[in-house]
Homo-oligomer: A and B are copies of this chain.
Amino acid sequence: VNSVVSLITDFGLTEPFVGLVKAQLLARHPGARIVDLTHGIPPFSTEAAAFWIERSCRYFPPGSLHLVIVDPGVGTDRRILTVELDGQTYLGPDNGVLGPLAGTAGARVRAVDMGSLAGALSSGDLAVGDLGLPCEDWVRPGWLKPQRVGASIHGRVILIDSFGNCFSNIDEESLVKHEIESVNFGTHRLSWVRTYGERPAGSAVALVNAFGVVEAACVEGNAARSLGLAAGAAVEVRLGRATAAAKGRDAKESTDS
Contacts and interface: CB of A to CB of B under 8 A. Distances in A.
A140 to B, nearest CB: 24
Interface string A1-33: 010101010001111101110111011001001
A57 interface: yes
B23 A35 contact: yes
Contact of A15 (B12, B18, B38): B38
A56 interface: yes
A33 to B, nearest CB: 8
Contact of A14 (B18, B23, B33, B162): B162
A220 to B, nearest CB: 11
A56 B13 contact: no
A93 B177 CA distance: 36
B52 A23 contact: no
Contact of A22 (B8, B12, B14, B35): B35
B161 A16 contact: no
Nearest to A2: B30
B35 A6 contact: no
Given A13-B38, A15-B38, A35-B19, A26 B161 contact: no
B56 A23 contact: yes
B14 A40 contact: yes
Interface of A: 2, 4, 6, 8, 12-16, 18-20, 22-24, 26-27, 30, 33-40, 52, 56-57, 59-61, 64, 161-162
Given A26-B33, A27-B61, 7 more contacts: A14-B38, A14-B40, A16-B40, A16-B52, A23-B59, A26-B61, A27-B60
20 contacts: A4-B26, A6-B19, A6-B23, A8-B16, A13-B13, A13-B40, A14-B38, A14-B40, A16-B38, A16-B56, A19-B36, A19-B37, A20-B59, A22-B35, A23-B35, A23-B37, A23-B56, A23-B59, A24-B59, A34-B35
